[in-house]
Chain A
């Protein structure tokens, strides 16, 4: 039977905590970037904007169909070729934010599209302005559809943040990987690292379940 030795884990708690801080920093800042990018892209994809719409489609399709790792390498290793040197942490944050932003924009777009067009027409014919229609009719319904997939996208963002260790940012995975290689204690370090990510993802899931429960309208079928 395998003999567990958690002494090495206890010794590496200080590094682990600094790793958690980096992971949290990267996750929180890139969540903000992703939300902004997602909202703007979804907004620009409405049929009113021609050039911006094609730009949005281009951005979303390119980002969704290439691996995050390759995008990260383009920001970190590719951009210095054209004279743009970025700090690895900033690189990771930008890459992660723009990557997740593409997915979030699709979620927002499909949430808004799932509201029937008749509701928009009815609101306009009642004399509401476009802004009022969005604020009082479209948004309250769309947000209830958007929230659950948005939560799982932010959980994905936290999990994807482990890839910034590929460009030498010392986040949780980096610390765990170095610790495991240094001590040859793979199982113990794996359990510890997995527990850290499960706690982070679990916390986000709880927050989003709470929001979902708070804004739920009884009688209306909740989206998945």
Chain B
């Protein structure tokens, strides 16, 4: 085995890892904000907007991520700005477009899990729709949704590896660059898999230890497992 390749190119791999984490962080933040907004709209009764939100969520969720990465980079952004975009920007935009739909669906499940009694009590106290949402429904829903958000973030971190198709030199692509030169693929790939494993399992371990959303319901647990593909 040629484990020496890893030590020799350690800095290069770590640069890739830094880029992976940057893209993941930007995409998680963006899709979390947009996803919660979209989920609230989806769950509301604002006539044309909840249809649009539903259509967006359903359409995005039935198309593979790789389509968004390629076509945001080569189609959407160049068409909007009239010049070719950087791979970093394209990756972030594509991941945000894709993950927003999933975050919105988690938000909807969370909002639906809030018992009707809370809403009725808030209404009888004279709170308006936005006050109910802001002070009663969203805080409960968000705390229940946290495990699902974490597992969606984990799946986003794994998904950043797809950005290598448009040439973003993140962890997977930097590994590729190394083994295209040395031809010792297995060692590098195992090392990369190990890094992803440590990040992702570490994140899920932390979220389990902190016990976010203590009154977490069975339905959300099942949902998390179904969607975390």
Chain B associates with chain A? yes
Q: List the interface of chain A (C-beta within 8 A of B).
A: 2, 61-62, 64-71, 73-74, 77-82, 100, 103, 106-107, 110-111, 114, 145, 148-150, 152-153, 155-157, 159-160, 162-163, 165-166, 173, 176-177, 180-181, 186-187, 190, 193-194, 197-198, 201-202, 205, 223-224
Which residues of B have CB within 8 Å of A65?
A: 154, 158, 196-197, 200-201, 204
CA distance in complex: A165, B154 (Å): 23
Q: Give A99's nearest chain B residue, CB to CB.
A: B229
Do A67 and B159 touch (CB < 8 A)?
A: yes
- B186-229 residues at the A interface, CB under 8 angstroms: 186, 189-190, 192-193, 196-197, 200-201, 204, 218-223, 225-229
Q: List the interface of chain B (C-beta within 8 A of A).
A: 59, 62-67, 70-71, 74-75, 79, 109, 154, 158-159, 161-162, 164-165, 172, 176, 179, 184-186, 189-190, 192-193, 196-197, 200-201, 204, 218-223, 225-229
Which residues of B have CB within 8 Å of A150?
A: 226
Q: Is the interface of A mostly helix, strand, loop or mixed?
A: helix
29 contacts between A and B (CB under 8 A): A64-B228, A65-B158, A66-B193, A66-B196, A66-B197, A66-B200, A67-B159, A67-B196, A69-B164, A70-B189, A78-B186, A81-B186, A82-B186, A103-B228, A110-B225, A148-B222, A149-B226, A152-B226, A156-B227, A159-B63, A163-B66, A166-B165, A173-B66, A180-B70, A190-B67, A197-B64, A223-B219, A224-B220, A224-B222
Do B62 and A201 touch (CB < 8 A)?
A: yes
Tell me how far the C-beta of B172 lies from the nearest C-beta in chain A, rounded to whole angstroms: 6
Partner of B186, one of A79, A114, A148: A79
Do B185 and A186 touch (CB < 8 A)?
A: no
CA distance in complex: A166, B65 (Å): 13
Partner of A70, one of B184, B193, B201, B226: B193
Which residues of A have CB within 8 Å of B197?
A: 61-62, 65-66
Do A78 and B185 touch (CB < 8 A)?
A: yes
CA distance in complex: A110, B222 (Å): 8
Which residues of A have CB within 8 Å of B189?
A: 70, 73-74, 77-78
CA distance in complex: A73, B223 (Å): 29
Do A157 and B229 touch (CB < 8 A)?
A: yes
Tell me how far the C-beta of B67 lies from the nearest C-beta in chain A, rounded to whole angstroms: 6
Which residues of B have CB within 8 Å of A160?
A: 64, 229
